[in-house]
Structures are given as structure tokens and as C-alpha cells.
Amino acid sequence: MAIIEKPVSMHDGKHMDIVMINALLHSLYDVFDTMVGLDIEPGIPELKQDRVAKGDVSGLIGMKAEGASGSVALTLTQSTIRGISRELLGEEIADSGREAADLAGELTNMLVGGAKRILAEKGHDFDMQTPQLLVGDGHEIVHHCSGQTVLLPVNVGQDVFYIELNFI
């Protein structure tokens, strides 16, 4: 049997899910430990079979590297965003939904920006596209590539929010 010590290659898309989940969760711990001040717990990842968002507000960002491209979304309910806002900003956000969307967009930017830095340290240089904000009950998250979407729940207190990733 051959010795298994091959480096992780972006061209071997087979384990891209694990490489991306790893970078995203490290980034998420950074954001929640250092900025938000709430404990998070990842849940059980699964393959998602439709496009309907689990949250009320989603941020979606495309990423592209040599040999790999796709997108990452963060989707949260209004209630979860309110809880995070209380910790992060020390104040309630307005009911309009505009501030909730802004905060979701900012969290998505921090999540994906952190993951991009972590991936770059491992030699994987990704470009990040401009984030899209998606809002509304039952809105759809249309990922940039036609790959399989992986859904990763993250528990924060009594709430849960979701990261979606879809790479080819």
C-alpha cells in the first residue's frame, strides 16, 4: 500500500468540502470569539437538496481560485440576527429589516474574508466577489456553480444559523 502523504491540492476537488468547511469554521470561531463574544457549536453537515434559505436574511459571496470556484452563503433568522446584534453592538436593531440585512452582510463578509486569509496561508489564493444580500421569507439562495450544496448548521445559544457552500 502506498504511503499517504500527498499535499492537499485544489485540483483534487474531492475533498474541497472539508478544506472549505475547515477554513470557514476557523474563521467563524475567530469572528464570534473576538468580535461577537458568543459561543458557537457546529452541528452535523448535510447535503442540501433545494435552494430555499433556512434563514430570513442571507449573504452570498462568490469565490474563485485556480482549479476551484463556487460560493459561500450565511443565512440567519431575524431573531438570531437580533441576538447577535445585542452582543456585537450592545443595542437592539430597528424593525425595518434594513439594519438586519446590513449586519448579515457584514457577518458574511467577515466569515468569507477570514476563510480567504486562512486558505491563502495554506497556499490557496481565492478571489472574493462582491457580496449579494438576499432577504424575505422563503427566499432562494442560488449558488454560482452547479455543484452540490453542503449545509452546515451552527448553534449559537438557543438559536441556529447556517453556512452553505457549493464548490466545483
Residue numbers of the site for its own copies (CB under 8 A)? 1-2, 4-6, 8, 12-15, 17-19, 21-22, 25-26, 29, 41-47, 49-51, 142-143, 146-150
- Residue with Cβ nearer its own copies (79 or 155): 155
Of the pair 1, 94, the CB lying nearest its own copies is at 1
Q: How far is the CB of 10 from its own copies (least distance, A)?
A: 12
Q: Which of 51, 96, 95, 101 is nearest to 76 (CA)?
A: 101
Closer by beta carbon to its own copies, 81 or else 114: 114
Q: How far is the CB of 116 from its own copies (least distance, A)?
A: 17
CA-to-CA separations, 135 to 54, 55, 101, 104, in angstroms, rounded: 11, 9, 7, 10
Q: Say how far apart CA 37 and CA 23 lie, in whole Å.
A: 20
